[in-house]
Every structure is written in C-alpha cells, then in structure tokens.
Amino acid sequence: MEADMAEELFEPELITLTDEEGNETQFEIIASYEMDGVGYLALVPTENNDEGEYVILRLEADPENEGEEILVTIDDDEEFDKIADIFDDMLFEDDGE
C-alpha cells in the first residue's frame, strides 16, 4: 500500500506538444514558476534527451479557446535569460556546492 502511494506521489507529469509541422513530442514537466503574473514551465523530452537539456515555455491564454491556456516559446532574450536563471537555480542548486 505504501509503495502504491509513493508511486502516485512521484509519478511524472507528462504532456504532449505538437509543433508547427504537426509532430508530437512527449515532455515531462520538471518545474514550474510564476513571475510577474506569468506562468512558465521547464520541460524535458521523455525520449532522446542524452544531453540533459530542458525547454522553457510560457503559459498564455489561448485566443481561440476561452479559458484554455497554450504554451509558447519566449522570444524576448531578457525575459528568457531571467527565467532560465531561476530554473537553473531551482533545478541545479546542489551541483555547485
């Protein structure tokens, strides 16, 4: 029973994203953060991620579906650098010590 509860607590949160060409890729959400009222997610692909890199996307309201959210890339370098530093600190805080 305890093992079942532990599995439920630590089960990864997975999402499937579709790119502009219609290709689907499954990602695991490894962190989330809100800054200035905007939500961000750090994601890693569940396959072919030998280098251990992660992707950062911003949550925005879906203009086509009221009440729904979509994930978009961050085009502003300053915004991206700021949130990337936060995620790096969150995800790799033990690596430098």
In tens, the pLDDT along 26-51 reads 999 999 999 999 999 999 999 877 77
Average pLDDT for residues 65-85, to the nearest whole number?
A: 94
Question: What pTM value is reported for the model?
Answer: 0.79
Measure the CA–CA gap between 91 and 59, rounded to whole angstroms. 19
- Residue 57 is classified by DSSP as E
| Residues 54 and 91: beta-carbon distance below 8 Å | yes
Domain boundaries, the chain: 2-91
Q: What is the mean pLDDT of residues 69-80?
A: 95
Phi-psi region of 64 (alpha: psi -120 to 50; beta: other; left: phi over 0): alpha
Give bridge partners of residue 28 from the DSSP assignment: 14, 44
Share above pLDDT 70 across residues of the chain, in percent, rounded to a whole number: 86
Average pLDDT, the chain: 87
Answer whether residue 1 shows pLDDT above 50. no
